[in-house]
Structure 1
Amino acid sequence: MNQLTPAVAIADRPAEEPLLPSGIPAGGNAYGAPVLLEYWRILVRWRWVILGIVVLSGLAGLIITLMMTPQYTAATRMEISREEKRITNIEGVESTSGNRFDQEFYQTQYTLLAARSVAERVARVLKLADDDAFFKAHGVDLAESGLERPAGNVRSAAQRDRLQQLAIGILRGNVDIVPIPRSSLVDIRYTSASPAISAKIANAWAEQFIADSIDRRFASTADARRFLERRLTEMGTRLQQSERDLVAYSTQNRIIPLAKTEDQNGRTTVSRTLVADDLETLNRALAQATADRAAAEARARSGAGAVESNIGAVSALRQRRAEAQSEYARLMVQYEPGYPAAQALREQIRSLDAAIGREESRTRGGVSSDYESAKQREATLRSRVEELTSQLNTQQQASIQYNNLQREVDTNRQLYEGLLQRYKEIGVAGVGANNIAVVDQARAPGGPSSPNLPLNVAVAILIGLVIAGVVVFALEQIDEGLRAPSDVNKLGLSLLGSVPLFDEGDVAELVLDPKSPASEAYLTVRSNLAFSTDHGVPRSFMVTSTRPREGKSTTSFALAIVLARTGRRVLLIDADMRSPSIHHFFDMSHDRGLSNYLAGEDDWRRLVQPTQYQGLAVMTAGPIPPNAAELLSSDRVAQLVAQLASDYDHVVIDAPPILGLADSPLLARATEGVVYVVEAGGVPMRAVAASIDRLRASQARMFGGVLIKMKRETVLGYGYGYGYGYGYGREAEDSSASR
């Protein structure tokens, strides 16, 4: 079976391909295995660490949960409307228009719900500073804090202040504001060790939030009222001054308005004044006087006309005299002249005669006097009209400034009245404004809300998994040993093969069994060695490792057996004279061997011992010398290898480990090259790299590396070539057993 292709593929992998923490390419391992298998290998490798951490975390969560004090959560549900509900139709100071985003509005309300001011109101209203049960429900020991109630049952002001601040902090730490998605509802949840206290505080929190909201509105209106008060005072003073100026100007210019008109802008103008009204009246009287004077002048020019104008009165008097005379004549027919009624009529007639005479005389003398009187009256009225006309002209010129002063008065009055109206409105604006209502009040919960045992244990296990992941990652980084076949390439070596972990005591039996995984593994190493030189398997090579007990001696023994099985003559030399071990594989002593030859004995054939394996001979380490490095530094090692090449096809040297010793670099000069053995998950990679550098510094040729002691799950995860043989052999055994 040719296993060179995997090794070559590993060596030819591009250097820039990303690697996992273990050195495996991100797309899979060196043999094309998926990356999930690499992670599975890591999990299997550290399964007990992961399981231990997870179990401990779960137990810790269980214990902590059982030790926790049960907590009870009560919830009050509130509705916070976007628009305010108003009893009065008066606009407040704060804008209620929907020009803000709902999310911003509700987020502000939720923040205000959890504000310190609400917690202070709740603590003050419920008197929590004096409620020892409240602190006990939250696990606060007042005695330890030095705040226990004194003997007189009266705390000092400093203690009360500390308790108040402590209560506020507890309230804010245990309240939870939970909005209901896609609604204007919000839950106020409070948690404590007492169901009754939780319900009481949740309800009080909602009530105090509503009260705090109303107080904020009144506080904002109070500021506005104070501002308006100052403005009202200023505007009232300005209005009074403008009115004084108007009155003073009106008095100075004798402008007495009788009628005013307002335009559409509310500006007042004087439409009539006293002078204008008097002038109008006098003008009418002057017109009448002029007419009377003209009539009197006409009567004076024709006296008859004057008498004729008064003839109506005289005729009436004469008519009455005629009636009286007729009645007197009728009485004389019946009575004597001394009759009283007759006497009375006679006196009436004499009176009428006198009146008729006087009237006729007055009429004739009054025509001229009436004319003079009418003329005088006309002149008087004309003079008065001219005087008022001059005065009116002066007032009309002054009315321009008067109207300006009047408009200033009107403007100041409008501003003053507007401010006064707004001042009164703000005083009652907040009374009806309310957009918050309690939907469901909190009730004492019937069962605890925490601790939740399943949830806490699940969280603890989850935390344990996270911690386990971190620990495994750290261990993977700290553990610098080679774990995957591809790690060998990172050392600059070609991978000759990988050997699974097996019992070293049965190594010979496993190697001789062609169906065993060990045999398949070492056959792979032998096949890859055949391609390391132009003449096939090297005639002589050295097997070494970084430190003792990595498996170099087992590998030397196994390779010697595999080479001997091919019909070749092979000599296995134990060159580890400090700690020889090859003789144990053949149940022989090492009383003579390599150290004897290096010490000066020339007959090497006497030092070679045959074995029970055909084609395989062995030269043990011989007696342990006091200084092995001095013996190996001579040229006798190279002479020995050259002489052995004439009698043996292959010489396999089991060399001492590299770390801390100079033996292997000395031996490497006498062989064609070195096969380097690395224990999977053993020596840190930096130590392996340092050892390889020492060999290269001695001009040693590196044939490649062999990764041994790989665990079965790792082997199966990477799917090496000997997996088929291993499975085939087991199937054959199972079939024979069944037969």
Structure 2
Amino acid sequence: MNSATINSGGAVALSGYQPYPQGVGMPLVRHYVQAALRWRWVIIGITVACLLIGLVGTLLMTPKYTAVATVEIARDASKVTDFQGVERETSAFDQEFYQTQYGLLRSRALAERIAVQLRLLDDPKFFELFKVASDAPAFRLVNGRYPATGRSERQRVAGGILLGNVSVKPTRLSRLVEIGFTSADPAFSARVANAWADNFITTNLERKVQATSYGRNLLQRQLAQQKQRLDESQRQLVAYASQQQIINLPAQGGGSTGPATVERSIVADDLAAINASLARATAERIQAEARARANGGAGASAEALRNPAINSLRQRRAEHAAEYERLMVQFEPEYPAAKAIKAQIDQLDRSIGREEGRVLGSIQADYREAVQREAALAARVDQLKASYLDNRRRSIQYNMYQQEVDTNRALYDGLLQRYKEIGVAGGVGVNNVSVVDTADVPQRPSSPRMLLNLAIALLAGLGLGALAALVLEHMDEAIADPMEVQRLLGLPLLGSVPKVVDGTTPRDALLDRKSDLVDAYLAINTNLGFTTEHGVPRSFSVTSTRPAEGKSTTALALATMLARAGRRTILIDGDMRSPSVHHLGGVDHEKGLSNFLAGDDNIDALTFPMRDLDFTAMSAGPIPPNAAELLTGDRLSVLINRLLERFDHVVIDSPPVMGLADAPLIASRVEGVVYAVESHGIRSSLVKTALGRLAAANARIFGGVLTKFEARKTHYGYGYEYGYGYGRAKDVKA
């Protein structure tokens, strides 16, 4: 603890008082259970009262009958046409859609429509059935009938009555909705429930027809405006094309979502065609140039090698050359046959040379022709490029006009398609609401329900009783449980003392060594022995918050227990304002503590023996004008020191703490204080204040003693009276 110290014996020195020390507390559930047990009669009384009120109220209620009709609300109507976009098909809007339908079922307009259809506005029995009593002119009967002037007022009231008694309950995870109506007349309830379902379907169809008609009219106006815009944009486009001499040809193109035709420029087509021809001419020129460069001498060109005529001549030459070589083996070159073959070979060589020259000339001619064609096409391409660029400059505005025409045409086509769809869908008239079960006349009343009302009354009674018990528990600051001494006050509990039975004085109870009081104080004396290192404190005072809490009895009992344990003990009556110890010894208080504090040092003359209790006592002495002034000096410390030379223990019956300075002064002179707290008789907040005063005086508190304890009043904390009288038989004398 921050402001308190604990010695090895377990006593608390209150240098700064802490009402809730760390680690000390009661579980919340146990606290509530104990509070409920403590105030159980309050809870039981309130619960019984609520049950009686619920029972009487149920018996006095008028029986009500509820008729239920079931309808199905589909998200989308059955599709007769496959038009897209008439209604949203995404499921993301399902919740919004159904909540809207439930709101329409509870609409005031629907209720008033039903009231008009069932002719309830002019029916006095209807208003009597629901106990409508009004002095308004609309409800004054004239010849047994309501006046016609108040019909609108009665319609409003009748609609409110129907709305107040109708229930719309959607069936979870389905499209079914139950429409229930409750009244004292079962047949009327069934009639209204069925009318509610039928009129909801009718109004749903009417809203669709109205929406379709409104949409058609709106689209018709938009179509006329869009048609006018389309015509104007087309005329503007044609006029500009004629002025600028822009000629575009239609060409097939576009996808399923695009336009059917895409216009193209003549110049662009020509440029594309000539450019393609130029590319082919360039390729042909390159090939011709390659053939021309590849043509080598001595007929080694590829064209010559592939020429069939040259190849035929060469084959004949080779044959003649072979024949000539054969003849040269046998004959001379001048041999006639050899000479003739030689002449044929020369003729073949001349023929081969002429053919190779012709092939080479053809390759050169082809190359020159390819160069000329390429140059001509390149010049034409340059001309078309200039024309195309000029056409592009003039087509910028044309394209803007063309885009405007395309946009207007797309909008017009979309509106026209939408107009046709709405026209067809409006004529179909398919409804998405249908009646599943009609309402039957109920045979049993739906209310009042006895068991349900009693259960509600029971729960309400328990709740109110618990609330009342909680309030009383927080308002009641009395300490009823010995555990609360530690939990609420932060004091170690030395023990609890049972209340002395009527007709028995504390002194008589102490003289009876088998009494419960003696057992209790023996336990307290034992616990007190653990508060210091040397056992029971040699000097201590006994005090309380206010008078009559049992502090004097505690001081007397502790002195008696110490004396019976063989200790030399003296009891000092420190309450010089209301002395009481001298009554126990049968003497007066002419000599006592006040005399010593005033300067009389003869201690033997100031004390007297308590022979039946085996200890010595000192009375308070003559009552001084101001006891606090006598205690401010050091005479009390001198007295205690001198008495401790002759006695083992000095017990001081101290005055109460509140309102007096005596108790803190005495507490600062002794080893510590035993604090008496009256059970069921003192507020914990008052005790905390008193302990705070002792803390300010640096007093040391060994613990608290709960006096006048009655276990039967706590209704919880069982077992506190178990040790008192344990093992005794009331009908057996020792």
C-alpha offsets along residues 300-326 of structure 1, whole Å, 9 cap, x if unaligned? xxxxxxxxxxxxxxxxxxxxxxxxxxx
Task: Indicate the residue corresponding to 1:170 in structure 2.
Answer: 161
The offset of 1:170, in angstroms, is 2.7
The CA deviation at 1:197 is: 3.1
How much does 1:491 deviate?
7.6
Matched residue of 1:128: which SS?
coil
Quote the residue 2:687 is aligned against.
Answer: 688
Match of 2:215 among 224, 242, 259: 224
Match of 1:446 among 443, 447, 451: 443
Q: Say whether 1:25 aligns with 2:25.
A: yes
Matching residue of 1:46: 39
Query: Is 2:500–2:708's contact at 8 Å kept on the other side of the alignment?
Result: no
8 Å contact 1:93–1:221 — kept in the other structure? no
Counterpart of 2:58 in structure 1 is 65
Query: In 2, Cα distance between the equivalents of 1:160 and 1:213?
Result: 26
Stretch of structure 1 that moved more, 636-645 or 172-181: 636-645
Q: Match for residue 572 of structure 1?
A: 571
Amino acid in structure 2 at the alignment position of 1:449: S
Contact 1:593 1:622 in 2 (8 A): yes
* Distance change >3 Å, CA 593–CA 469, structure 1 → 2: farther
Q: How does 1:576-591 map to 2 (within 5 A)?
A: 576-582=575-581, 586=584, 588=586, 590=588
Deviation at 1:723, TM superposition (A): 6.5
- State the secondary structure of the residue aligned to 1:733: coil
Structure 1 residue aligned with 2:463? 466
Counterpart CA distance in 2 for 1:458 and 1:9 is 53
State the 1:563 CA deviation: 1.2
Moved more, 62-71 or 115-124: 62-71
Question: Match for residue 115 of structure 1?
Answer: 107
In the alignment, the residues of structure 2 paired with residue 609 and residue 16 of structure 1 have an alpha-carbon distance, to the nearest angstrom, of 40
SS in 2 for 1:177: strand
What's the counterpart of residue 122 of structure 2? 130
Instruction: State the 1:457 CA deviation.
Output: 2.5
Alignment pair present for 1:212 and 2:209: no
**C-alpha separation between the residues in 1 aligned to 2:41 and 2:527?**
36
Asked if structure 1 preserves the Cα contact closer than 8 Å seen for 2:572 and 2:593, the reply is: no
Classify the secondary structure of the residue corresponding to 2:77. Answer: strand
Q: Highest Rg: 1 or 2? A: 1
Instruction: Return the alpha-carbon distance in structure 1 between the equivalents of residues 672 and 711 of structure 2.
Output: 30
CA distance in 2, matches of 1:688, 1:24: 18
Q: Is the 8 A contact 2:529 2:535 kept in 1?
A: yes
TM-score by length of 1: 0.63
Corresponding residue for 1:379? Answer: none
Supply the distance in 2 between the matched residues of 1:665 and 1:180 (Cα, whole angstroms).
75
Counterpart in the other structure of 2:188: 197
Amino acid at match of 1:209: F
The reply to whether residue 95 of structure 1 matches residue 91 of structure 2 is no
Seen in structure 2, the aligned counterparts of structure 1 residues 589 and 5 have a Cα distance that, compared at 3 Å, is: same
Q: What is the distance in 2 between the residues matched to 1:516 and 1:462?
A: 47
For 1:185, the aligned partner's letter is: L
The answer to which of 411-420 and 184-193 deviates more is 411-420
SS at match of 2:499: coil
* Structure 1 residues 529-678: aligned runs within 5 Å: 529-582=528-581, 586=584, 588=586, 590=588, 592=590, 594=592, 597=595, 603-611=602-610, 613-621=612-620, 627-633=626-632, 636-678=635-677
- Equivalent position amino acid for 1:170 in 2: I
Q: Secondary structure at the match of 1:618?
A: strand
User: Would the alpha carbon gap of residues 110 and 646 (structure 1) be closer, same or farther in structure 2, given more than 3 Å must change?
Assistant: same
2:351 equivalent in structure 1: none
Aligned-pair RMSD on alpha carbons?
Answer: 4.8
Whether the aligned pair in 2 keeps the contact of 1:500 and 1:715 (CA below 8 Å) is no
Per-residue displacement from partner, 1:72-115 (whole Å, max 9, x unpaired)? Answer: 222112233455357x6586984375755655544443333223
Shift in Å at residue 415 of structure 1?
A: 9.2
Shift, 1:214, TM fit: 0.7
C-alpha separation between the residues in 1 aligned to 2:137 and 2:148?
12
What is the identity percentage for the equivalent residue pairs of Structure 1 and Structure 2? 42
CA distance in 1, matches of 2:639, 2:414: 125
How many aligned positions are there? 557
Q: What are the residue-to-residue correspondences of 1:181-192 with 2, within 5 Å?
A: 181-192=172-183
Following the alignment from structure 1 to structure 2, what is the Cα–Cα distance between the partners of residues 445 and 512? Answer: 81
Contact kept? 1:497, 1:521, Cα under 8 Å: no
Contact 2:497 2:521 (C-alpha < 8 Å) held by counterparts: no
* Deviation (angstroms), 1:547: 1.3
The 5 A counterparts of 1:320-335 are: none
TM-aligned CA deviation for residue 682 of structure 1: 4.2
In terms of mean alpha carbon deviation, does 173-182 or 504-513 score higher? 504-513
Q: 1:608 to 1:572 in 2, by over 3 A?
A: same
- Matching residue's letter, 1:141: A
Q: Tell me how far 1:428 sits from its aligned partner.
A: 1.6
Q: Shift of residue 676 of structure 1?
A: 1.5
Segment drifting more, 503-512 vs 654-663: 503-512
SS of 1:434 mapped into structure 2? coil
